[in-house]
Every structure is written in C-alpha cells, then in structure tokens.
Amino acid sequence: MILCERCPDNPTCDNCLVALRSGGAASKVVPPRTVKVTNLATMESFQAKLVAVSRTTIGLSSSDHDLHGRIEIELAYDFRIIGSGLRGIAGDPYYIIDIEKVLRREDVLERLLLEEFHTWHMSGELDPADVLLHWKDRDDERGRLIKQEIQKLSILRQIETIFLYLYDEGKVRPLGDVRANSEVEREMQRLVEEAAGSGGPVREQIVTADGTKVFELYTSVLPDRTCGIALIDVTAVIAEERKRKRREWEIYRDILGVVTEGKLLLLSDEELFFLLREGHKLLAIDIRLPEQLAELRRLFKQALEPQGISDKRLLQFLVAVNEAASNTLKHGNGGVVTLYLSNDKQMCRAVIHDEGQGILLEDIPRATLQQGFSTRHSLGAGFHVILQYCDRVYLSSSLAGTKLILECILSR
C-alpha cells in the first residue's frame, strides 16, 4: 500500500477507507492532518497523521509509535476523540481507531459527526505550530484562543455577549465587527493600559455611568505577547444571581418565622426603614465598653418608665436589650443602641446596630436559635433570652453590619 503522502497523486487508491470497514460513509482527509495523540495507558503524547474518517472509526498513520490500545486524539482544544487502536493494514503503519467518544465542547457523542468534522477540517483551523507561525495574520485564531481561556472560568460559561479585543503596541482594537459602546471601550482602554504592565491575566469590572450594564473585563497574554481582551456583558447573570439570593433569603425568613411562631423575622433594609418611620426616636447611645451597659439600662429605664410599662416587663426588656448590646461587644467593637417609641405610644423598639461584617444567611439559624454553654464569658443563651422577653424580634444583616430590632408592647 502506498499511503497518505502520495494519496493525492493516486486518487483511485482507497485502501485506507476499506480498512475502516465503514462502507461508503468513509472519506479521506486530504491532505492528511497532523494530530496530537495520547496513549491513555502511558499518557505519552506524540503526533500522528489523520488519514481517513468515518462516523464510527478513523484511520491514523504513525511510523514512530504503536497505536494499539486506548488513545485520545486531539483535533483541537475542544474537539477530541477517544478510541481503541488496531492495526489497519498488515505491514503498514496504519491504524484503525474504533471511536468510543467524541468530546466536542460540552457534548459527549459516540459518533463522529462527519459534517462537523469536514467543517472543522475545511475551516482553516491549523496545527498549533502553524498557528504560531502565522500568528500575526490570524485574528480569528486569537479570538478562539481568548474564548478558550474564558471557558476555563466556569462562572462565565453561560454568558452570551462577548466582545473580543486585542491590545497590541499600546492600542486596543476589536477582533471582528461586534463591539461595545464607546463609553465602555474608553474605560476598557484605561484599565487595559493599567493592567498591561502586570504581565498576567487581569479581571476587572466595568459599570456604565447610568448603572444599567455591568461588564467583566478579562485580559490574557497571548503567545505572541499581545494581550487578548474579552469584555463580557454580565448584567443578566448578576440580575439572576440577585434573584436567586433573594429567593434563598425569603426561604430562610419563612422558616425562621415558622420555627419561632412569628417572633423572629428577617427584614430587608427597605422594610427596616419603613418600620422605624412608624415611631419617633427617644434616645441613642454608643456602646464601646462593657462599663457603658449600666448607663444604657439606666437611660432606657428613665425613658420607658413614664410610658406606663410594668416593672416586670421593663426589667425583661432591659435584659433583652442588654443581651443584644453585650453581643456587639463580644463579637465586635460595640455598636449603637437606639430607642424608638411608636406614634400611638403602645409599643417601643430598640435598634441595636453593630458595624461588623454581618451574619451569613446560613449562620443565622445557629446564631439565633441554638442555645449552648460554649464560652466562659457567656452562657451562650443570650438570643434565647431576647426571644423570650420580646414580643417580636427583627433581624437585618448585610456587609454593612447587623441590625437587631427588639419590639416590646408596653401595656402587656
């Protein structure tokens, strides 16, 4: 058999196709393509020539390496075939590979889609060595490599709107016709210039002046030392993530409400604002030291006694407020305690605001409902007391800190 290199000069030879045993569906690869082959038993990688393809088998030529056993054939970064090799023609370095899997982007197929293969083969996608040789002339290849880098960032895989640019010799230019608006491009140019000196990949965020669009900017240094830039519109993804977090928050709010029979409620900042508008402020105290707790209790007593609250009820409310204020000292640098009286004077609310990093949503049940004797400095029962002695407790926590609102009906 005269194989491959002379095949174009001998179009009547079809030995390589016959050996595939795929009938008329097989076709020659003209000219043969150099592909990377990895022996999956030894993980040794080498090159071979792809000579013929069919839906279920492919033919490889390799005079240097034995292709028996399981191998992976890499046609491109996102186009791989896994199969088992057998000698195709006795006496020739020609192997038939039975296809087990075709890995194409996120799909796994058991057959090679010939149309797709031919599209790939005819598309001008070259061997990596060729790509490097003609790098400067191949913006489409640059675009592909930038996207390939981006695919490594799993969070960005769902993104549809990607603008590709190239930073070369101090200038940013788009790869292709699709580009972002000029305001975003100006900001991108500024960030890329700042990032150019770092040499490594850079990830930044750009928000439009009107706040309606958010872009992720991702730069990657390419093999020819230019810098590939991907600008990704993540507005929809962020909106979806916010919705998901809001749903999660609502689930926690509902569960806490049920478990505490409506006594403990999570509150958004907006709801908190409207809640406190229902009353007027009587006093506010900054608590930074344990010694200030006695003064806090004295001032609360002074403010609430004239409102007709019973001694027992007042003491219980003072214990609850005191516990919450103590927590701001135990877990941070203190906070501000504010007392509000409702407009109808039937109810008071104490707001304990610490400026810590907030409580993670998933930690709230443990922080509020679990009673324990964990530390020497506290019985670990502070929140239990708060829930027992207040008529209702609201909790609002964010990165700006935690606000606890303790509600007490004065006439009870």
Partner 1 sequence: MDYRATEANGQATLFFVGELDMAVGDRVGELLQQYGGRNQSVTVDFQGVSFVDSSGIGSLFFTTKELLAMGKQVEIVNVREEILDILGVLGFTEALGIAVGKVGETRV
**Chain contacts with partner 1 (rule: CB under 8 A):** 289-291, 293-294, 297, 311-312, 315-316, 318-319, 322-323, 326, 329-330, 371, 373, 375-382, 384-385, 388-389
> Sheet harboring 202-207: ordered strands across?
171-174, 162-168, 227-233, 214-221, 202-207
Q: Which is nearer to partner 1, 261 or 291 (CB)?
A: 291
Nearest 10 degrees: CA dihedral of 114, 116, 122, 125?
-130
**Toward partner 1, which CB reaches closer, 258 or 373?**
373
> Smallest distance from the beta carbon of 147 to partner 1, in angstroms?
57
Q: 109, 126, 4: which is closest to 60 by C-alpha?
A: 4
9: number of Cβ within 10 Å: 8
Query: Closest approach of Cβ 397 to partner 1, in Å?
Result: 21
- 48 versus 336: smaller Cβ distance to partner 1: 336
Using alpha carbons only, give the angle 174, 177, 183 rounded to the nearest 5 degrees: 55
Question: In angstroms, what is the minimal distance from the CB of 396 to partner 1?
Answer: 23
Distance of alpha carbon 183 from alpha carbon 164, whole angstroms: 16
Closest CB 392 distance from partner 1, rounded Å: 17
Residue 300: CB minimum distance to partner 1, A:
12
The minimum distance between CB 316 and partner 1, in angstroms, equals 8
Distances (CA, A) of 12 to 8, 33, 53, 121: 9, 20, 17, 22
Query: Between residues 153 and 293, which has the closer beta carbon with respect to partner 1?
Result: 293
Chain position carrying tokens 């030995």? 15
CB of 385 to partner 1, least distance (A): 5
SS3 282: strand
| Calpha distance 192→230 (Å, rounded) | 11
Tokens 């007042």 -> residue? 314
Based on CB atoms, which residue is closest to partner 1, 164 or 264? 264
Contact (CB, 8 A) for 80 and 54: no
The candidate with the shortest Cα–Cα distance to 412, out of 303, 311, 288, is: 311
Beta carbon nearer to partner 1, 96 or 318: 318
Residue 14 · residue 24 · CB < 8 Å: no
In the complex, the smallest distance separating the C-beta of residue 390 from partner 1, rounded to whole angstroms, is: 12
Which 8-state DSSP code applies to residue 43?
-
Residue 391 C-beta: closest distance to partner 1, Å: 15
* Residue of 111, 114, 56, 63 whose CA lies nearest to 87: 63
Compare residues 146 and 318 and give the one whose CB is closer to partner 1. 318
Can you read off the two tokens belonging to residue 332? 């941070």
**Residues 6 or more apart whose Cβ sits within 8 Å of residue 393:** 263, 264, 265, 386, 387, 404, 405, 406, 407
Cβ closer to partner 1: 293 or 361?
293
- Nearer CB in complex with partner 1: 129/289: 289
